[in-house]
Structure 1
Amino acid sequence: MFFEGAEKKAEIQINIGQISLLKDIKDTFWQAMVTSCNAQIISSINNENCKAFLLSESSLFVWNDRLLILTCGETQLVNAIEYFIKKIGKDKIKQLTYQRKNEYFSHAQPSCFGDDIKLLSQYIKGNAYRFGELDGHHNFLFHYENNFIADPEDKTYEFLAYQINEQASNLLTSKGITALAIRDFLSINKILPDFIIDDYVFQPYGYSLNAIKADRYLTIHITPQADSSYISFESNMDLMAIAPLFIEILKPLSFDILSFNEHSFSNKTTLFKEANYLSKSLVQQTLPNGYHVNFANFILPQLEFTQPIQVHIEGENNAL
């Protein structure tokens, strides 16, 4: 069974003097926005600073001055962005970034990054970049130009693991596995003491977690199937410091790190090189809005031959 785990991601910051997303917007608005991109809200948690929604495809986080939404599968996240712009108004938006990473089967998606930014460009003007090479892992990024200058302490991190080892895949696809067992496997309670946690095990496979504490958040999404395993971690905590633990647990054949405003990025990648991973792609750019973006793809060199994957002719077209 194949599922496209790669996420599309958007962050929108608004003028808090005009509206508070946390206080002035009802949950029915978020439900409609999520539905517009072909996803559903499963559950939610909240504290004084943040409300986190677990979705049928990834997550939505809402603070007073911003929102973060990630969706996977065949969702069209750009439709949710369009919904937000139409309902809330372009004049209230201070900053908007939209990201889309390379998919396993991009031809099975209802749109591509180019289609998405053409739609967004009907409402807002901005610049687009590709971080990474076309023949490997890469991220497309579009950002709205609106005379906005980012806070240098506004840091976020993404850690994306591919082709996890057989033992991890077998455990995460085992029949009847519980959310508690997955949290124990990933050492979540050790990493997130005193966090409010909301998680869900999908059938037949898959897992999502949202965790919040004050204004801090972490979200995890797991597609564990051996042929297309993919696990994503997104947070405003320093994932580069935590990543070695996840690497030891999952032993992926490759992983990506993407950060905003982590100026010690190069120094922190030393930990990955010590674990015998090689950097295949290193890209950095300071955007006109002040965000300093770093992207790196690391691979584990293969020293032994493996067998080819047999593709079933009668299987899904996107796998052929």
Structure 2
Amino acid sequence: MDVEDKYLFFEGSEKKAEIVVKGQQFSLLDDIADDFWTELVQCCNAQILSSIRNDDCKAFLLSESSLFVWRDRLLILTCGNTRLVHSVEFFIQKIGMDKIQQVIYQRKNEYFSHAQPSSFGDDIKLLGQYVSGKAYRFGELDSHHNYIFHQDNSFQADKLDKTYELLAYQISQRASEKLTTKGLKAEEIRQFLQLDELFSDFALDDFVFDPFGYSVNGIRGKEYFTIHVTPQASSSYVSIESNINLIKLASNFLVILAPQSFDLLSFNEFDFARLTDEFIPKSYVSKSLVNEHLSNNYSVCFANYILPQQAFTQATALDLAGENHAL
């Protein structure tokens, strides 16, 4: 989550892949050595910083986001200028498609997409060499949106297999200043984000980046959460993902971060409309609502919320001598 001091810029928006394997044949958790995961992560130009484990899950904290491994699946998120699809390709080549049940690849809109080494189209073209699938865009092209590619085969997800993402943009000045405080410790950030209260009994592994930025993984049995913070005002972004219900926790995070906008994405949350109506503050207005039932039996809901502005603000002055991507 490192940032160049000169430009105070970092692309926090993440790419994400989930791969489900045929768990009756082997266990990703028990039969794969850590050297394999080190090599997989290096394929997308990231490194493993640390890890924690329980009987059901191993969580790796990365230089760019996180990797989680269960017996029958893995989940990896990477940010910055990583090319996550190369790690997916590595996994497919080493493990073999005959042992894989489902590949899902996800990528959201970036602040500075032209600074990325590839586009979503480039990535799925590469994946298409190994996997036949379908691709969708959730959200409007000129606003917040999320691309999802999934393998199109006989795999059918369990309806209880749920995932939630809360992606917050343009956090408040108060939150940004707090999270960019020089010398800030991990314990102080955990307290600011109220992690002990919101995720009680989770084992935590976190890291504070230099000059700023924060990542944390939490596991409790098969449950997990991960949070990644890019706090600089020029491109502030906080991503939260979990298989526990983040919609019920959304109001807590919205009070803490007070973002100008945020996205919610869920897999197999069939009460999405009722829950968002109950737990999302009425001060936020939905700008985009999308629902799609995928052929792999995941029901995906996407919502983009904005905080309507009631007063004029000043224009942002640009550094004409700086790099184009930092304008």
TM-score when scaled to structure 2?
0.97
Pick from 306, 316, 319: which aligns with 2:323? 316
Name the counterpart of 2:125.
Answer: 118
Name the counterpart of 1:107.
Answer: 114
Q: How far did 1:273 drift? A: 5.1
Q: How far did 1:34 drift? A: 0.2
Pick from 257, 281, 291: which aligns with 1:284? 291
Counterpart-to-counterpart distance in 1, 2:214 and 2:24: 37
Q: State the AA in 1 paired with 2:24.
A: G
Name the counterpart of 1:152.
Answer: 159
Name the counterpart of 1:177.
Answer: 184
Unaligned ranges ≥5, structure 1: none
Contact 1:59/1:70 (CA < 8 Å) preserved in 2? Answer: yes
Contact 2:135/2:148 (CA < 8 Å) preserved in 1? Answer: yes
Counterpart-to-counterpart distance in 1, 2:73 and 2:94: 15
Contact 1:34/1:40 (CA < 8 Å) preserved in 2? Answer: yes
Pick from 89, 96, 116: which aligns with 2:96? 89
**Deviation per residue, 1:107-164 (Å, 9 max, x gap):** 0000000000000000111000000000100000000112000100000000000000
Q: How far did 1:271 drift? A: 3.7
Counterpart-to-counterpart distance in 2, 1:127 and 1:152: 20
Counterpart-to-counterpart distance in 2, 1:2 and 1:284: 33
Name the counterpart of 1:3.
Answer: 10
TM-score when scaled to structure 1?
0.99
Name the counterpart of 1:39.
Answer: 46
Name the counterpart of 1:191.
Answer: 198
Q: How far did 1:194 drift? A: 1.5
Q: Percent identity?
A: 62
Q: How far did 1:193 drift? A: 1.5
Helix, strand or coil: the match of 2:311?
Answer: coil
Pick from 129, 134, 145: which aligns with 2:141? 134
Helix, strand or coil: the match of 2:249?
Answer: helix
Q: Does 1:72 align with 2:79?
A: yes
Please tell me the root mean square deviation across aligned C-alpha atoms, in Å. Answer: 0.8
Contact 2:16/2:106 (CA < 8 Å) preserved in 1? Answer: yes
Q: Displaced runs of 4+ in structure 1, greater than 3 A?
A: 271-275
Q: Does 1:240 align with 2:247?
A: yes
Q: How far did 1:291 drift? A: 0.1
Contact 2:287/2:304 (CA < 8 Å) preserved in 1? Answer: yes
Q: State the AA in 1 paired with 2:110.
A: E
**Deviation per residue, 1:224-276 (Å, 9 max, x gap):** 00111000000000000001000011110000000000000001111455431
Name the counterpart of 1:201.
Answer: 208
The size of the alignment, in residue pairs, is 320
Q: How far did 1:316 drift? A: 2.1
